Amino acid sequence: MLVGEDPTDIERLWDQMFRASLPYGRKGLSMFAISAVDCALWDIFGKALQQPVYRLLGGATKEDMLVYETTNDRVDWDNHEFFGVKLAMPYGPADGREGLLKNRDLVKECRERIGDKRDIMLDCYMAWDVEYTIRMIDLVEPYGVRWIEEALSPDNIQGYEKLARYTGPVALATGEHEYSRWGHRDLLATGAISVFQPDINWVGGISETRKICAMASAWGLIVVPHAGGLQAAGLHLIKSQVNCPFAEWVRTWNRDSGRPVAGVLGVPDPAHGRIRPSEAAGLGISLNEDVLEQA
């Protein structure tokens, strides 16, 4: 479908790929493939014009981005350069009240360790239900939790509608496992979501994430792309969008074994709690040929 086409016709090519994959796609793996192609097309476009991709998306809205780290590692919590910590919640409804209290204790421990000036967010990975989420909001509210993420499956629209009627002090975030602007539109309509978290590598690439940002901006919502601080495309998108205020970063290697040699070069690490995309043409990344040869 793409052979012989002009790679700068990004909108048309996205639409054709999406329509052609409807019988077996719309969500999941087909959107992963479209996402990869879309990001590659933006990279080609940037290289052709000798401009970093964020400039093609409208230019910079900020010099660099604040970073929060997703980690349950107590040593990581001590890095005060990051403005916040996101905790993975170990327990769910099957663990009963004991699990509720253990989740609460983890949040309490983190708050006591990092102090009052940094944010705490909770990642539930679609493992909770409505009743459990409400009970957890009540338990963690005293510890200043900023948001609870992916409490429910994105398909549980009715569940999010019920949570929207619970006027608690903790925001709800989701979107990592939703695909395309249409899926995010349905989540938006529940009235429950305050933070959208599309993954650029899954949701349809830069093109689709930009549309989600525009939709969210009309409702005064922020967009914090899932793992955006680990993705070259994510960093360019975040820098170009007014309502993408900061980036998520995760240490993806074991501290004891050290950092492995990267297969993709050019994705920057945070420095002093902030991160920015490469200023090189395109996405600023390249394959590590040495790693490819070893494979």
**Burial of 149 from C-beta contacts in 10 A (0-12 / 13-18 / 19+):** buried
- Predicted confidence at residue 108, as pLDDT, reads 98
Whether pTM > 0.85 for this model: the answer is yes
Low-confidence ranges of the chain (pLDDT < 50): none
Predicted local confidence at residue 149, as pLDDT: 98
Q: How distant, in Å, are the alpha carbons of 40, 41, 224, 246 from that of 59? A: 19, 18, 18, 16
Domain extents in the chain: 56-286
| Model pLDDT for residues 71-130, shown as the tens digit of each residue | 999 999 999 999 999 999 999 999 999 999 999 999 999 999 999 999 999 999 999 999
| Pairing state between β 274-275 and 65-70 | antiparallel
Amino acid type, 125: Y
56-286: CATH architecture: Alpha-Beta Barrel (3.20)
Reduce the DSSP state of residue 178 to 3 states and report it.
Answer: coil
Determine the pLDDT at residue 256: 86
What residue has token string 């959107």? 31
The reported pLDDT for the residue numbered 293 is: 84
Catalytic residues: 226
pLDDT at site 168: 83
pLDDT of residue 292: 82
DSSP per position, 105-125: HHHHHHHHHH-SSSEEEEE-T
Which string of b and e fits 216-228 if b means at least 16 CB within 10 Å? Answer: beeeebbbbbbbb
